[in-house]
Structure 1
Amino acid sequence: MQIYRIDHVAQVTPDLDAQVARLSGLFGFRPVRSWDDPGEGVRGARLEIPGSRGQAWEVVAPSGSGSSLQTWLDEHGGRPGLHHVGAEVPDLEAVQAELEVRGIKATDGARGRWLEASLSPPEHGPGVLWRLRGPGSLDMCGDSSASRAVTGSSDGPSLGIVALDHICQAFHDRDVLARWYQDLAGFVQVWRTADEEHPDMADLVLNIPGSAICWEVIMPRGEDSFISRFLDKGGPGAHHVTFEVSDWDEAMAACSHHETPTFDDEEGVTDGAAWKHTFIHPKHTGGVLVQLFWEERPGVWVRSDKVPPRWT
């Protein structure tokens, strides 16, 4: 199968308006569409991410009775979180056939206009939910005839995000998952840490052909890895989402203005250029662990030539 591009990242929340306000304020996202479809059981909003043309952020909330989103929230103790990654494929029927061959269960949505499925190896648990659509329709985002255009503005400073850089998935073996994604959808490995570089983790980064957003895979190392605890708690799902900011001091000032703490701050110098990164806890973002980074020169925070790929 082929993924043409990642279209959006979606999070589910019990309070749509509050989450849209948070994303508009601290994150500087711009609301562009909204919808309310009790028949489908969903209210939603689509927001533009600065610097990420073609990719958006979607917020969905339960609407009406019997909403599957309400079931999702109930199963997660009422806590908001990342719901799915939306992507466009050239041929939806071909994708469905490929998934069936691989034993991946897919669910039809919007009367067959999109599919929902985890693209991870089915024997390793649920993984990350993807919502896939063919060309010519944005119904999976609510951008149908029932949606309406909206405009929004925020007061105060924002993070100064310039791009959605990558989505990170935790998995027990980075090479197993990377080979699977390469074989399934043509993901290409471009970067990896050396096996012994970190005491508690190892990672690699995959390019998704046609998309500006990359896919990171992290795996546990050692006896007390935070990734092991994550996998024990929820399985091999999405771990965090990473954004690039244009000015580090302004981003930290925006966090202070919006009373949003950060943690695990790190900084360094690579090839003579500085970089910094930090995290924002899910309780301050509406249920998604967010990583922020800044680099003095493009390519020094994650260098594609740092360690050559070990597998083909």
Structure 2
Amino acid sequence: MRIYRIDHIGQVAPELEPQVALLEGLFGFRRTRSWENPAEGCRGVRLALPGNPGHTWEVLAPAGEESAIREFLDGQGGRPGLHHVAAEVPDLGAARAELEALGVKPAAGGAGGWLEASLSPPGRGPGVLFRLRGPGDLALCGDGPAAPATAEPPPQRAERAWAVPPDAPSLGIVALDHVCQAFPDRDELARWYERLAGFVEVWRTPEDEHPDMADLVLNIPGSTICWEVIMPRGEDSFIERFWNKNGAAAHHVTFEVADWDRAMAACAHHEVPAFGENAGSTDGAAWHDTFIHPKHTGGVLVQLFWEERPGVWVRSDKIPPVA
């Protein structure tokens, strides 16, 4: 199976407007589409990602009496979180056949307009949910004729209490760098993704660099977004605890910012604390990274980094545990 483009990252929230306001305000995302489709049981908004042309962020909230989004939230104890990664494949039928041959059982979504499947190795439990569609097929949630996407007029938005002031400071995000997944064996998952969809390993930490974790980074062909795999090491690894609670789920999402001081000032302005900050230099060029807790982002652990020169940030810095 070949993935040639990541379309969007999908997030679920119990209430749409406050989550969108956070993403527009603190994160600086820009709303491009909104819709409501009781037949599919969801309302949604698409937002453009700074620095990632063609990639968007999607927020879904329950609507109507029959809602898979409501079921997802109930299964999470009502907590919001990352829901899916949407991607395009050259041939949806061929993708289904290849997935089934590998023991992955995709389900049809949106009246059969796309496929849904956890793309983690069978037998390892559910992992990150992927939504797949064919080229040029506007069948993903919010795109098809059953759920027309409409731009909301700015005056209508400005009247709402959750509207974002036009001069509100934002993080200054310039790119969505990678999605990180927890897994017990990084090499097993890397081989699986290479066999499944041609992911290519580009970087890894030495196994003994950190006492409680090791990681590697994979390029997704056709995408500027990478995929990181972190695995536990030692007797009391925070990744082991995460795995025991969540399985092969997405652990965090990482964004690059243009100016570190601006990003931290935006967090302070929006009263969103950061934690676990690291700072250092590589070959004389400085870098910083930090995290924002899921309770301040709508259920997604967010990592921010800045680097003085491209390629000097050290991805292997310790990722703090999240309660």
TM-score, normalised to structure 1's length? 0.95
Partner Cα separation in structure 2 for residue 45 and residue 248 of structure 1:
28
Deviation by residue 1:145-166 (Cα, 9 ceiling, x = unmatched): 4110236673210000000000
Please tell me whether residue 160 in structure 1 is matched to residue 172 in structure 2. Answer: yes
2:144 is matched with which residue?
A: 144
Q: Which runs of 4+ in 1 moved over 2 A?
A: 150-155
| Cα shift readout 1:51-82 (whole Å, capped 9, x = no counterpart) | 11011000001110020110111111000000
Contact kept, 8 Å, 2:110 with 2:141, in 1: the verdict is no
What amino acid is the match of 2:229? Answer: V
Aligned partner letter, 1:288: V
- Measured against aligned partners, the alpha-carbon deviations of 1:175-211 in whole angstroms (never above 9, x if no partner) come to 0000000011100000000111111100000001100
Alignment RMSD: 1.3
Residue 195 of structure 1 corresponds to which residue in structure 2?
A: 207
Q: Which amino acid counterpart does residue 295 of structure 1 have in structure 2? A: E
Cα distance change, pair 260–12 in 1 and its aligned pair in 2 (3 A): same
Q: Describe the superposition over 1:198-251 as per-residue Cα deviations: whole angstroms up to 9, x where unpaired.
A: 111000000011000000000000111110010011111100000000000000
- Equivalent pairs, count: 304
Deviation at 1:144, TM superposition (A): 3.0
> Out of 227, 231, 235, which is 2:239 matched to?
227
Q: Counterparts in 2 of 1:81-100, with a 5 A limit?
A: 81-100=81-100
Task: Measure the CA separation in 1 of the matches of 2:284 and 2:277.
Answer: 20
Tell whether the 8 Å contact from 1:24 to 1:30 is kept in structure 2 after alignment.
yes
Question: Which of these residues, 243, 247, 253, is aligned with residue 259 of structure 2?
Answer: 247
Task: Give the TM-score taking structure 2 as reference length.
Answer: 0.92
1:179 paired residue number = 191
Gapped regions of structure 1 (runs ≥ 5): 304-312
Cα distance in 2 for residues equivalent to 1:302 and 1:109: 39
Q: Distance in 2 between matches of 1:115 and 1:249?
A: 42
Match for 1:100: what amino acid? E
Specify the alignment match of 2:79 in structure 1: 79
User: Secondary structure at 1:149's aligned position in 2?
Assistant: coil
- Aligned counterparts of 1:140 and 1:151: Cα–Cα separation in 2: 23
Conserved in 2, the CA contact under 8 Å of 1:46 and 1:141? no
Q: Read off the aligned partner of 1:217 and give its amino acid letter.
A: V
CA distance in 1, matches of 2:119, 2:125: 10
Identity %, equivalent residues = 70
Aligned AA (2:283): D
Displacement after TM superposition at 1:143 (Å): 2.2
Query: 2-side partners of 1:198 and 1:179: how far apart?
Result: 22
Please list every run of 5 or more consecutive structure 2 residues that lacks an aligned counterpart in the other structure. 155-162, 316-323
Q: Who is 2:160 aligned against?
A: none
